Amino acid sequence: MSLIDDFLFEPIEAWEQLPADIVLGDVAGIAVDSKDRIYLFNRGAHPVVVLNRDGTFLHAWGQGVFTNPHGASIGPDDSLYLTDNGDHTVRKFTPDGKLLLQIGVPGQPSPPMSNLPFCRCTHTALSPTGDIYVSDGYGNACVHKFSPDGKLLHTWGRPGTREGEFNLPHNICCDEAGLVYVADRENARVPVFDGDGTYLRSAKEKLFAEVYKFPYVGGTGAGDAFDAGYITGLLQGLGSRDCMAWGSALGGSCVRSISATESVFTRDEAEAYINEHPLKISTW
């Protein structure tokens, strides 16, 4: 029995307690800071809605800043990194919305498939040393590495299906060892790289995982399903039984938690789920 067996998950209806004038749009990104404050990066009139762990509304900010919210991640100092694939930027904020860093020029994309940042970037991740990795997926097919102050250090990737190539890198995260995991969406795989972009391995096809609990919290139809294929691949790369991957579908329509086990989750089964957005890895 793994540690995951000690946890049960069920949907909580109307968990978020929002004022009447706050209406969420599609929640494309979710992040949680060290104080258990939850940041909902959404496509409504109030792009960043902040709640405490019991769903109580704290505040909202970001009005008029973003074009199309897409990815959210938290730094070790609780700085919030928000990726906007509509205006081709990554912005770093304090928890209360003060802008600290901007990478990219709003409304000025790089040429498509140029490998220059950014052309509809998708998500941002931080290494243990503070380097910033950005998946640049809708108009490019690459990953960019920046220094903590936003200086471009390295870019890797190109369109394709071979090792080190991408077909819509849609999400990205780093582990404690500094390895970089990329959700290569249309290639249905999660390639793993070292911090300088050297290809190490890829999780694809027979993914060792088990859908442990998958409460729907609203929504119907194929577009509301969650792409377990991308997430379960991360678990194979981690090689730990005592871990979980979290994600939410486009629009926040469902959440699934997955544990690494000896059971086989085939690629055909994985393809029953589509359209993943945020993904997180937790280990114990």
Q: Which two tokens stand for residue 271?
A: 């393809």
Answer whether residue 137 shows pLDDT above 50.
Answer: yes
Amino acid at 195: G
Q: Is residue 99 part of a domain?
A: no
What span, in angstroms and rounded, lies between the C-alpha atoms of 176 and 144?
19
Q: Is residue 25 part of a domain?
A: no
CA 253 to chain centre: 15
Q: Is residue 179 part of a domain?
A: no
Q: Is residue 199 part of a domain?
A: no
The candidate with the shortest Cα–Cα distance to 271, out of 170, 212, 189, 201, is 189
Mean pLDDT lowest for which of 12-21, 51-60, 90-99?
A: 12-21
Calculate the average pLDDT of the chain. 78
Q: Which two tokens stand for residue 57?
A: 């509304």
pLDDT value at position 5?
Answer: 65
- pTM, whole model, 2 decimals? 0.73
Which is more confident, 177 or 251?
177
Total domains in the chain come to 1
Q: Which residue has the tokens 């379960």?
A: 232
CB-count burial class (<10 Å; 0-12, 13-18, 19+) for 121: buried
Mean pLDDT lowest for which of 46-50, 148-152, 257-261?
A: 257-261
Strands 38-42, 27-32: pairing is: antiparallel
Q: Is residue 282 part of a domain?
A: yes
Average pLDDT over residues 132-148: 97
Mean pLDDT lowest for which of 151-155, 200-204, 213-217?
A: 213-217
What span, in angstroms and rounded, lies between the C-alpha atoms of 67 and 230?
26
Average pLDDT over residues 11-18: 90
Average pLDDT over residues 70-94: 97
Mean pLDDT lowest for which of 114-123, 133-142, 174-183, 258-267?
A: 258-267
Q: Is residue 18 part of a domain?
A: no
Q: Which two tokens stand for residue 84?
A: 């906007």
Mean pLDDT lowest for which of 68-77, 86-95, 177-186, 271-280?
A: 271-280
Q: Is residue 91 part of a domain?
A: no
Q: Could you say which DSSP state residue 71 is in?
A: E
Q: Is residue 276 part of a domain?
A: yes
pLDDT value at position 3?
Answer: 56
Answer whether residue 185 shows pLDDT above 60.
Answer: yes
Helix (H, G, I), strand (E, B) or coil at 106: coil
Q: Long-range contacts: 261-266, Cβ < 8 Å, 24+?
A: 261/2, 261/208, 261/209, 261/210, 262/208, 263/208, 263/209, 263/210, 264/206, 264/207, 264/208, 265/206, 265/207, 265/208, 265/209, 265/210, 265/211, 265/228, 265/232, 266/205, 266/206, 266/207
Answer whether residue 152 shows pLDDT above 50.
Answer: yes
Domain ranges, residue 274: 205-284
Phi, psi of 273 (to 5 degrees): -115, 135
Q: Which two tokens stand for residue 95?
A: 């928890």
CB-count burial class (<10 Å; 0-12, 13-18, 19+) for 153: middle
Mean pLDDT lowest for which of 38-47, 80-89, 268-277?
A: 268-277
What span, in angstroms and rounded, lies between the C-alpha atoms of 181 and 190?
6
Under the banding of pLDDT at 50, 70 and 90, the label for residue 13 is confident
Answer whether residue 49 shows pLDDT above 70.
Answer: yes
